[in-house]
Each structure stands twice: as structure tokens, then as C-alpha cells.
Amino acid sequence: MFAEYGVISYWSYFIGAIFIILVPGPNTFFVLKSSIAGGLKNGYVAASGVFIGDAVLMFLAYAGVATLIKTTPVLFNIIRYLGAFYLLYLGIKMLYSTFVRKAREEGQHDVHKGDIFRRALVLSLTNPKAILFYVSFFVQFIDITYTRPGTAFFILATTLEIISVCYFSFLIISGSYVTQWVKTRQKLTRLGNSLIGLIFVGFAARLATLQS
């Protein structure tokens, strides 16, 4: 399928992309947290930041910048540590909101959608897993001898975004139902936020200690 457009083994790519997206990552937890805390709208705002970040990384892969990042350890380490620092920041901020701020202040605190979008976008752009995916996996399914490789990139990129939309929609809708169920259970909500905060801190530690 799509072989005439320079795509190699499309269905193998499709299956592989599904499994890679299903692997829990910082983007997944941030979208889920946003949907639980703010409902459908905030969830989709966070997801849109991830989608745009993915689109930028795919364009960089096509332009060859992602390859440069992988082959130049200094650049990749900069991306890795930026991502780790940002995850640590988000995790500490969630834990701070849970244990330090009063419950009344949390209930009145309004997170602007612009802030959610910006956090999701930065989180996506500094995700080493995504960079490695587009460099090491994504480009393997493109026939470099095809006269217009951009067409193949577009097909694979569109496929990935569709899979992401379906997966994140499931997370967002599930998260919104969880919101309705726990909206009168403040302790459970605080516990969930603290667990997600700890997960983000764990991701930060893992990224910071990865071997180049």
C-alpha cells in the first residue's frame, strides 16, 4: 500500500507506530492530566500542542535536522537535558500544587489554555523519544530513490497524526469521565495529581541519566 508513492511496507509502519504511541511517555501523562484537571477542552488543547510539536519534529526529520541532532552528541544532549529539566519543572510544580497550596486556592486557580498549549508544545519538542523515532524508525519506511520523497513523508506523517488523534481522544474522553466521577472527591484528585507529578520527576531522572 502506497508503494507507488515511495512508502516501504506501510502496514509494518502502521503497526509499529501504534505500539510506539501506546508506550506511556511524558506527552501521554500530560494530556491525561490536563483532561482530568480541566475536562475535554483542556485535554484537546494539550493534545493540539503535542500534535504541532510532532509535526515540527517530522518536518525537521524531513529537512535532515533531526539526523544532525542524532549524529552530533552535543546537540542531542542539549535536547535531552532541556527535556529532562522541563519534565522536572512540571513534576515539581504538580507536587507543589498538591501539597503546599490550600485546597480552596487550587479550586479557584484557573489554568489558562495558552499555558497548557505552551507546556505541551515544549514537552513534545524536547522529547528525545520522539526525535529518535523520527530519525531511527520513521525514515526507514521511505524509499530514498523515489523522485518525490516528500510525498512518502507526508503519508507517514499523516498516518502517525491520525493514530495520535485517536489515542489521545480516548485518553481525553476517559479523563473527562474521571473528572466527573472525582470532582467531589478532593483527596482522590490530589492523590492523582501527586502520582502524575512523581511520574514526571521519574521521567526527568531517566532522561538525564540516559547514555548518549
pLDDT of residue 51: 92
Of 120, 111, 156, 114, nearest to 47 by C-alpha is 120
Residue 52 — pLDDT band, cuts 50, 70, 90?
A: very high
Residue 142, phi then psi, degrees to nearest 5: -120, 130
Taking only the tens place, the pLDDT of each residue in 120-178 is 998 888 876 677 677 667 777 877 777 777 888 889 889 999 999 999 998 888 877 76
Taking only the tens place, the pLDDT of each residue in 68-78 is 666 777 776 77
Domain boundaries, given as residue ranges, for the chain = 27-208
Helix, coil or strand: residue 142: strand
The mean per-residue pLDDT over the stretch 77-104 comes to: 70
Name every residue whose Cβ is closer than 8 Å to that of residue 84 and which is 6 or more positions away in sequence.
203, 204, 205, 207, 208
pTM > 0.85: yes or no:
no
DSSP-assigned letters across all residues of 27-66: HHHHHHHHHHHHHHHHHHHHHHHHHHHHHHHHHHHHHTHH
pLDDT of residue 104: 46
Burial 122-155 (b: 16+ CB within 10 A, else e): bbbbbbbebbebbbeebbebbeeebeebebbbeb
pLDDT of residue 31: 87
